[in-house]
A and B are shown apart, each in its own frame.
Chain A
Amino acid sequence: MKYVLLFVETEEFAADLDALGPAERERAYERVDEWFAEHADKIRGGAKLRPAETATTVRLDRGEPVIVDGPFVEGKEAVSGYTEIEVADLDEALRMVATWPACPVVEIRPLES
């Protein structure tokens, strides 16, 4: 089955990351790279997103398109990246996510086949 992992950052996580020294930050990025390398056979694509403040949202349910600055949900949590994976089932996806070394929330969403 195919799933998309939506990586969700919290304000606290972003602040903690900012507070890291250069060497520690380098190490944190390495851990993420290691995770991707470890699961390379299951990963089909994905990307890190630019920060939520760069987002633009368009609402089409109000007559004319309404263009708004920011992500579609305002809040302390924001999607910061996504990865498409192909695994046997939800348990395998859960197993992968259990060792994710970065942002504190991950949503697992199945793709329509």
Chain B
Amino acid sequence: MTDASHDRLARVIRQHAGRLAASLMHVTGGDFATAEDLVQDAVLAALRHWPAEGIPERPDAWLFTVARRRGLDALRREANYRTKLAQVRWPVQPGPDERLRLIFTCCHPALPRSARIALTLRVVCGLTTAQIARAFLTSEATVARRISRAKRKITDAGIPYRIPGDDQLAARLTEVLTVIYLLFNEGYLSTAGTARSRDLTEDAEWLAGLLHGLMPNEPEVAGLLTLIRLHRARAGGRFDPAGGLVLLEDQDRSRWDREAIADATRLLTGAARRRRPGPYQLQAAIVACHAEAERWQDTDWEQILLLYDMLLHLAPSPVTRLHRAIAVRYATGPREALAELDALAGELRDYHLYHATRAELLRRLGRPGEARAADRRALELTANPAEQALLRQRAGLGS
């Protein structure tokens, strides 16, 4: 099977897995663990049959039929579900909110974060346990354990299958966005050199898009979707032909997808009109400043500084202050930026980008010895091969 048809297969499955899960939840009266098992079975069956037989004309009906058959088989002892399941005929029409409920259940804050990501990928995106394990460079057994523990907890602890009430919605939506953002980051930070089988940034974009479709009035959802789209639109310039990481300053901007950047920016403008700014909208606006600059020299650093100040106001964090210090370097100068960085020494001692940024500034200020030491410290602290290569080169350590 070619890569293209593989991608198509994954996309078709993703398109239908969440709907199937939602339908099964409907049928089983909210038995999350059972519905989840049946979806996984159906996805595995599709991955076995479709490559040879081709994708069926109605993939949703096909998946449902398999899940239903398995369900009737597996639920032999549970007459209740069996009867219900036997009575349903495709298409079951889950309401528009059903997948949303599913997402909120998978991302419930009472579950450990790693389990939230794995569950969301399995139930909402239709990934198999093996695919998740490969994407996160971990073992299948670990992922399987995480998922079964989480499912047990959902049942035993009474984690509900519904959209949170108004008093809880904002906080819970933040949790959902965090899951999507972490998923995106995991994909974004992985490099061309690592043998990842799946582009998680694409799954993250799809999930954010789904959520945006389901909650079109939430500007932070649009903000996260914009952020992901802007990053993906610039992906063409991030690596050189050998798979090495290229710094923003040195990227060939003709390889950025200008049309996608313009589309994403329009989405952000629409969200901003709601006048409910939030961390994702602001981060997206910062990335948009970079994305819209024709050349590195055209970057509007003043605007970026302003956006960082707003972001720090809403969501103070030492890492954001580090990024702001980088903007200070270009808006004001390296000496001022270094002073800002020094104030973060305690909090970011173990963060590689703190040391890498410091190295840059020290070199700029004519202190090459200290710069090399900082690069070496950064190198010790990162496990990312592409970042390691870049730092080695800078620290003059060869590769």
Q: Are B168 and A90 in contact (CB under 8 A)?
A: no
Name the B residues within 8 Å of A90 (CB-CB): 108, 110, 157-160
User: Is B398 in the interface zone, CB < 8 Å from A?
Assistant: no
Contact with B along A52-92 (1 / 0, CB 8 A): 00000000000000000000000000000000000011110
Contact with B along A26-65 (1 / 0, CB 8 A): 0000000000000000000000000000000000000000
> Distance (Å) between the CB of B168 and the closest chain A CB?
6
Q: Are B167 and A88 in contact (CB under 8 A)?
A: no
Q: Are A91 and B160 in contact (CB under 8 A)?
A: yes
* A interface, over-half SS: mixed
Q: Are A95 and B159 in contact (CB under 8 A)?
A: no
> Distance (Å) between the CB of A42 and the closest chain B CB?
13
Q: Are A110 and B160 in contact (CB under 8 A)?
A: no
* B interface, over-half SS: loop
> Distance (Å) between the CB of B25 and the closest chain A CB?
15
Chain B's closest residue to A112 (CB) is: B156
Additional pairs, 20, CB under 8 Å, beyond known A88-B158, A88-B160: A89-B158, A89-B159, A90-B108, A90-B110, A90-B157, A90-B158, A90-B159, A90-B160, A91-B159, A91-B162, A91-B165, A91-B168, A93-B158, A94-B110, A94-B168, A95-B165, A95-B168, A108-B157, A110-B157, A110-B158
The count of residues in chain A whose C-beta lies closer than 8 Å to any C-beta of chain B is: 11
How many of chain B's residues touch chain A, expressed as a range?
10 to 19
Name the B residues within 8 Å of A20 (CB-CB): none
> Distance (Å) between the CB of B15 and the closest chain A CB?
29
User: Is A1 in the interface zone, CB < 8 Å from B?
Assistant: yes
User: Is B164 in the interface zone, CB < 8 Å from A?
Assistant: yes
Residues of B within 8 A of A (CB): 108, 110, 156-160, 162, 164-165, 167-168
> Distance (Å) between the CB of A76 and the closest chain B CB?
24
Tell me which of A1, A3, A91 contacts B164 (CB under 8 A): A91
> Distance (Å) between the CB of B152 and the closest chain A CB?
11
> Distance (Å) between the CB of A14 and the closest chain B CB?
27
Chain A's closest residue to B172 (CB) is: A91
Name the B residues within 8 Å of A1 (CB-CB): 158
Task: Determine the distance from Cα of A94 to Cα of B159 in the docked complex, in whole angstroms.
Answer: 10
Task: Determine the distance from Cα of A3 to Cα of B157 in the docked complex, in whole angstroms.
Answer: 9
Name the A residues within 8 Å of B159 (CB-CB): 89-91
Task: Determine the distance from Cα of A94 to Cα of B171 in the docked complex, in whole angstroms.
Answer: 12
Task: Determine the distance from Cα of A88 to Cα of B168 in the docked complex, in whole angstroms.
Answer: 15
Chain A's closest residue to B167 (CB) is: A95
Q: Are B156 and A110 in contact (CB under 8 A)?
A: yes
Q: Which of A1, A94, A108 has the most CB of B within 10 A?
A: A94
Name the B residues within 8 Å of A89 (CB-CB): 158-160
Some 8 contacts from A to B, beta carbons below 8 A apart, are A88-B160, A89-B159, A90-B108, A90-B158, A90-B159, A91-B160, A95-B167, A110-B156
Task: Determine the distance from Cα of A16 to Cα of B160 in the docked complex, in whole angstroms.
Answer: 36
Task: Determine the distance from Cα of A83 to Cα of B46 in the docked complex, in whole angstroms.
Answer: 49
Chain A's closest residue to B108 (CB) is: A90
> Distance (Å) between the CB of A86 and the closest chain B CB?
11
Q: Which of A89, A91, A95 has the most CB of B within 10 A?
A: A91
Task: Determine the distance from Cα of A91 to Cα of B160 in the docked complex, in whole angstroms.
Answer: 7
Contact with B along A92-106 (1 / 0, CB 8 A): 011100000000000
Contact with B along A1-27 (1 / 0, CB 8 A): 101000000000000000000000000
Name the B residues within 8 Å of A108 (CB-CB): 157
Task: Determine the distance from Cα of A101 to Cα of B157 in the docked complex, in whole angstroms.
Answer: 24
